Amino acid sequence: MALVEFADLECPDCGRAAPLLDQAEKTYKIPLVIYDFPLPQHQWAFDASVYAHYFRSKSTKTNDLERAFRLYIYSNQAQVTKDKLRSFVEKFAQEHKMSLPFVVDPQGKLADAVRADKDKGTALGIQHTPTIYVVSNNRSGPPFVEVVDRKQLFNLIDEMQKEAK
């Protein structure tokens, strides 16, 4: 089982969903797979996603820095602007005892990864963020369920786990 989210770091609803997804991942000990889906109306979401991928590349455990960065950005979302994003990223890096290079993506590979995430979401028909799925490899029942009402997230996970057994 896993949780899959298509998210936009500038999306207020994604910010509200993030702590719940974090809690579900820890409670059920299932992976949370995040795909970036920056919406065109959000000015700094794409750049923030590139930074998230940068921190993913520097994570020592399974995306620990990336996840901490995402939660940090969501918690400061109201103060972040396109012009202030870099200062928030630098502060996060300092708090995690890291130095941040002047250019985090000189070859454009991280930006390509964000575009690949977005393309995957587009191919799946994603139209809003957050889009959250509970995914299972069980052979009986549906392989995934979209979480439409986040209040039902834990119930959906429980149901999928029962079906898997």
Q: Quick: pLDDT tens for 7-55.
A: 999 999 999 999 999 999 999 999 999 999 999 999 999 999 999 999 9
In the chain, how many domains are there? Answer: 1
pLDDT at 77 over 90: yes
Cis before residue 130, ω within 30 degrees of 0?
yes
Closest of 46, 50, 47, 45 to residue 11, by C-alpha = 45
* Residue 45 confidence (pLDDT): 98
Confidence of residue 63 (pLDDT cuts 50, 70, 90): low
* Residue 59 confidence (pLDDT): 84
Closest of 44, 38, 41, 66 to residue 53, by C-alpha = 66
What DSSP letter does each residue of 57-90 carry, written as one string? HH-SSTTHHHHHHHHHHHHTTTT--TTTHHHHHH
pLDDT at 61 over 90: no
Confidence of residue 163 (pLDDT cuts 50, 70, 90): confident
Rounded to 5 degrees, φ, ψ at 145 are -135, 130
Confidence of residue 142 (pLDDT cuts 50, 70, 90): confident
Q: Tell me the one-letter amino acid at 64.
A: D
pLDDT per residue over 89-113, tens digit each?
Answer: 999 999 999 999 999 999 999 999 9
Q: What pTM did the predictor assign?
A: 0.93
> Domain span at residue 54?
2-164
* Residue 70 confidence (pLDDT): 97
pLDDT at 85 over 70: yes
Which residues are registered as beta bridge partners of 6?
A: 35, 131
Confidence of residue 162 (pLDDT cuts 50, 70, 90): confident
CA distance 77 to 93: 17
Q: What is the CATH number of the domain that holds 97?
A: 3.40.30.10
pLDDT at 160 over 70: yes
* Residue 60 confidence (pLDDT): 78
* Residue 131 confidence (pLDDT): 97
